[in-house]
Amino acid sequence: MSLEDRQTCMELVCEAETSGATGEASCEILELSLRTIQRWKMNPLQGDQRKGPIAVAANSLTDEEEKMIIATVTSAKFQDLSPWQIVSRLADAGQYLASESSFYRVMNKNKLLAHRSKSQPRKHKRPLELIARKPNEVWSWDITYLKSPIKGMYYYLYLMEDVFSRMIVGWNIEEVESAEHAARLIDDACDKQGISKWKLTLHSDNGGPMKGATMLATLQRLGVLPSFSRPSVSDDNPYSESLFKTLKYRPSYPDSAFASLEEASEWVRRFVEWYNTEHLHSGIKFITPASRHYGNDKAILQNREKVYAAAKAANPMRWSGPTRNWTHITEVRLNPGKKVKVENEMLRNQAA
């Protein structure tokens, strides 16, 4: 430690003691012992008297040997290999430069433990934030497995959901995963919803059916903009993941496999009808997805506000603050940016 750093530490301890803190507590924060501070105060102008090792270790690497190691690990032949592989390959070639630990020490000293070539891991940027302010602006879709009677084989449920209203706008069950099935589903869903060209963004993960040539060609023909999650990041497609959880946690969901494709299709048909027209979705102020999709939610929420206002007027002692918030949700964000996440966290903390 330099003489200036010692002076600073002594001044900080002295200031803390003047303010009422003990010397032991002050030294503990500085990660020093009280005896060290006392010794420094006896000779405040004396620096570190240690002279270091007297002799160089007999087995230390020479400058030439270190340069040889650096040249080896940065060469085109070895720049992608670890010291363990480098040492082994050198031994096969009848050459010994140093041990693996010596290679690591030299590489760490020269900051060469990171990737030494252009073969760095691919970096996946988080998908762009998508904002839905009305139905049929942003859809989310994915595929989930449904058990079949044959162990190890599954039925594949294709499910498309409107992010703004949470309504299921398209679904199908197939025996295989394919871009062709996905293309037919998006084609039918866009036709039923009357989607105009380049007005809809379809978000999905990076699976084969999502990025298949047939699917992408269909999106191009329909004028639908594709959006993809990062590989193996389920949080990038949260609405579809949440929908699948709701589906598989339904009390009527079978504990065993579906007996046939027809039985699975009938069960999903009933689920979609219940989900769209009866299920009060917590993410949209406990409105059914169909009511929100077709614009009936505003009247329902306004009526709830009137009911709560009347209840508060009749018995105001039951409310210490405002009544429940039934305000209409004007926008829904998919993969919100960092700033929005921080704002949401602040709002949750304030509510708590």
Distance CA 307, CA 16 (A): 61
Task: Supply the DSSP string of 2-55, one letter for each residue.
Answer: -HHHHHHHHHHHHHHHHTT--HHHHHHHTT--HHHHHHHHHSTT--------SS
Residue whose pair of structure tokens reads 């002279």 in the numeric block: 51
How far, in Å, are 10, 270, 273 from residue 265 at the CA level?
Answer: 78, 9, 12
**Over 70: is that where the pLDDT of 149 sits?**
yes
This prediction's pTM = 0.64
Domain locations along the chain: 3-42, 68-109, 127-352
Distance CA 336, CA 167 (A): 21
For the chain, give the percent of residues with pLDDT over 70: 91
Please, are residues 27 and 37 in contact by the beta-carbon 8 Å criterion?
yes
Across the range 276-286, mean pLDDT stands at 95
What local confidence, expressed as pLDDT, does residue 47 receive?
77
Alpha helix (H) ranges present in the chain? 3-18, 23-29, 34-42, 63-73, 83-92, 100-109, 179-193, 208-211, 213-222, 238-248, 261-277, 289-293, 297-314, 338-351
Enter the CATH code of domain 127-352.
3.30.420.10
Distance CA 339, CA 155 (A): 40
Q: What is the dihedral of CA 250, 251, 252, 256, to 10 degrees?
A: 100
Q: Across all residues in the chain, what is the average pLDDT?
A: 88
Distance CA 263, CA 206 (A): 29
What local confidence, expressed as pLDDT, does residue 143 receive?
94
